Amino acid sequence: MKTRKMFFLAMFLLALFSSCEQVEAFNDSSSEIEYTVNDGQSQVIAFTSNPDSITENEVNGLIIMREEEKLAMDVYTYFYNKYNYRIFGNISKSENRHTDAVLNLINYFKLTDPASASEGSFSNTDFQTLYTKLTSEATTIELALSTGAFVEEYDIADLNKLIAESKNPDIKRVYINLLNGSGNHLRAFTRVLAGLGVVYKPTILTLDEYNSILAD
């Protein structure tokens, strides 16, 4: 996974420098998740699977996704503090709910939470490296917004993989909701970039996949 992530990061940075809300709401229960779907209606989903039925791959996926959603939150919080662009403040709050949603699952399945309470600090060394590079190399608002779009691509690719691999219905439902949120965020970053005259080019998703998300 480390090699794949670093490869995509290198591709993104090369493309970036050469080329230049719907918000989900999650409650705090460890057995329920409340979210806003595409039509604005709130739903509550209770976890119903056997807490002892989770596979090793599903455990690993939850551990990764907990910090991956925190990565997005921390990067956007950093950019909001640096550039004072509202989109970063709005989406960082959404990412906070995303990472809490994964924490609900971690608690439900009685796993150890890997996430640090400190902003910009990660137990996964890949995410630590990625956070440092993304925050240090986005030196303009255009680069920061493009970084946001890249982070959402990154998230979408991993969520698609985890959804395909996961058998547990509770995990799949949460992942699908997170995926919908990431699509919303990618569209939002793309729109703001377009308003600044920047055409975002995907580096992880295929162009067809990217255009399909924009068309939703």
Q: Give 2-44 pLDDT, tens digit per residue.
A: 455 554 555 554 444 444 333 333 333 334 444 433 333 344 5
Q: CB-based contacts of 144: which residues, under 8 Å, 6+ apart?
A: 79, 82, 83, 85, 88, 138
Instruction: Specify the residue for token string 């996961």.
Output: 166
82 touches 143 (CB < 8 A)? no
168 touches 53 (CB < 8 A)? yes
Q: What is the pLDDT of residue 210?
A: 97
Strands (DSSP E) contained in 50-93 are none
180 touches 13 (CB < 8 A)? no
* DSSP state, residue 44: E
Biggest CA pair distance of the chain:
51
Q: What is the pLDDT of residue 167?
A: 94
Mean pLDDT of the chain: 85
Q: Which two three-digit tokens encode residue 36?
A: 């806003």
Residue type, 47: F
Output the domain CATH number for residue 94: 1.20.1260.10
Q: Which two three-digit tokens encode residue 10?
A: 């290198």
Residues of the domain holding 138: 2-215
Q: Is 35 helix (H, G, I), strand (E, B) or coil?
A: strand
Using one digit for the tens of pLDDT, what is the confidence trace for 44-88? 568 988 998 899 999 999 999 999 999 999 999 999 999 999 999
Kindly report the backbone phi and psi dihedral angles of residue 29, in degrees, each rounded to the nearest multiple of 5, phi listed first: -70, 145
The count of domains in the chain is 1
